[in-house]
């Protein structure tokens, strides 16, 4: 019998599963000083403030294998809000099994249910594995170039 995949909202009951996945995600992006306490403090805000963001975990059977984080920023050009899929992570050993696609579909469903006309996301230019997944969706590649400027507070 095939292992069942499911996507569920992050809750207090599965929050530690999320934190485990976040740490793997941060390691994938070579984050220095991964700090579970800081992660717990940061991500727990979404449990009580869903307008700040929402998170979903993908399970394969009983095993947490991926997650996505959605934020809802404002856009001056849209004169409204949109959904930003800020994080999408699937553990390496289950990539290519439909987990990533299911998380994107869930994100799009949430964006639509909230009345947002767009779901946006970005990825690293060298993350061709993710780009192959994204290219399967009816999404347009942006012509924008992203800049990041550190501040003295950082």
Residue of 8 and 125 predicted with greater confidence: 8
Judge whether 22 and 39 are in contact, CB under 8 Å: yes
Given this model, what pLDDT does residue 1 score? 64
Architecture of domain 5-134: 3-Layer(aba) Sandwich (3.40)
Cα–Cα dist 134/141, whole Å: 9
Residue 112 has pLDDT above 70, yes or no: yes
Residue of 145 and 58 predicted with greater confidence: 58
Q: Where are the alpha helices (DSSP H) in the chain?
A: 15-28, 36-43, 45-48, 99-113, 128-134
CA distances from 138 to 29, 96, 99 (A): 26, 19, 18
Judge whether 49 and 58 are in contact, CB under 8 Å: no
Residue 151 has pLDDT above 70, yes or no: yes
Domain coordinates in residue numbering, the chain: 5-134
pTM: 0.92
Cα–Cα dist 102/6, whole Å: 8
């Amino acid at each position: 019998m095939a292992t069942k995949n499911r996507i569920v909202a992050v809750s207090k009951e599965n929050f530690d599963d999320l934190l485990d996945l976040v740490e793997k995600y941060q390691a994938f992006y070579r984050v220095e000083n991964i700090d579970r306490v800081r992660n717990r403090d940061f991500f727990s805000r979404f449990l009580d403030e869903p307008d700040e963001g929402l998170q979903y975990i993908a399970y394969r059977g009983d095993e947490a294998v991926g997650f996505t984080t959605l934020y809802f920023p404002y856009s001056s050009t849209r004169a409204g809000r949109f959904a930003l899929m800020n994080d999408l992570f699937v553990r390496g050993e289950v990539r290519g099994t439909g987990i990533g696609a299911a998380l994107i579909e869930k994100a799009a469903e949430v964006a639509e249910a909230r009345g947002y006309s767009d779901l946006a996301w970005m990825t690293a230019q060298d993350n061709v594995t993710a780009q192959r997944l994204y290219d399967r969706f009816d999404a347009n590649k942006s012509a924008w170039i992203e800049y990041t400027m550190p501040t003295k507070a950082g």
